[in-house]
Amino acid sequence: MKNPVFTGAGVAIITPMYEDGSINFDELGRIIEDQIAHHTDAIVICGTTGECSTMTDEEQLAAIKYTVDVVNHRVPVIAGAGSNDTDHGCALAAKSAECGADALLMVTPYYNKTTQAGLVAHFTAMAEAGGIPVIVYNVPSRTGLNIAPETALELSKHPLINGIKEASGNISQVAKIAQLCGDELNIYSGNDDQVVPLLALGGKGVISVVSNVKPQLVHDCCQAFFDGDTAKARDLQLEMLPLADALFCEVNPIPVKYAMNVLGWEAGECRLPLVEPSDAHKEQIEKTLQAAGLIQE
């Protein structure tokens, strides 16, 4: 049995930026403190939501080290360290571990993709380079590549491969992974609209975008389920749906960074090629934040 890296709501945290596009570390620190104050169960830094794909390695490692130092062991810190180049991923994994991260989040190779056998070789090499627990990340809509349940089973045999962030949206596939892997692979939802369904299949939590704007809600949803109050968990999941819809009305993290700015955080803009949301989507985001009680009239 592998103990999960965390249980509950891990926030896929944004990376706030100044007007010139550089990282606003002071604001990142304030956001981290707010997350911890509202009971977020883990901080995931430099994931998709954190815009790691447009960061240099130096920026990425600086963000990871800063987050580790600010969090100071209060909750686990999970560092995005994936790549579609295994050698590069190995180097990034090793350096991220040196920064003090508790675990690594590793996405499947994108664009060049690979076979299922290649996935096993890729994740194995990077896990061993990092030397700390790994959560593999399955998000076929972004990468064009799916981790098959049988491949998840093979990966689960490695002592460092601790979990999977499942963002395929395919509940049947998640059920098959749970059936095959049991307690040897901890499952986390990668979709805010499917938290409770994954928990019902034995999942350990969510790596959440919604947690950026309403961390207490996502934490409470998971906690209610763990406490056996499935009716409350269901109600909170349904309460989360409008926020999930609004924060994915355009490609992540465009909407969530806009939302954070609306809420008074100095999130800044996304780096190109990501641009501001359309006016219609800005209106949708603002109305949803207001309906969720996050904007006072």
How many residues belong to the chain?
297
Backbone angles phi, psi at 3, to 5 degrees: -65, 135
Helix (H) / strand (E) containing 138: strand 134-138
Residue pair 132/160 in contact (Cβ under 8 Å)? The answer is yes
**Active-site residue, 95 included:** no
Burial bucket for residue 87 (CB in 10 Å: 0-12, 13-18, 19+):
exposed
Residue pair 281/250 in contact (Cβ under 8 Å)? The answer is yes
| Residue 23, beta-bridge partner list | 17
Rounded to the nearest 10 degrees, the angle between the axes of helix 215-226 and helix 230-247 is 150
Which residue out of 66, 95, 137, 204 is catalytically annotated? 137
Residue 278 CB coordination number (10 Å): 12
**Amino acid in position 242:** P
Which residue out of 95, 165, 214, 257 is catalytically annotated? 165
Residue pair 43/11 in contact (Cβ under 8 Å)? The answer is yes
**Active-site residue, 188 included:** no
* CA angle, 194 then 101 then 270, to 5°: 60
Report d(CA 79, CA 155) in Å as an integer: 19
Catalytic residue set: 137, 165
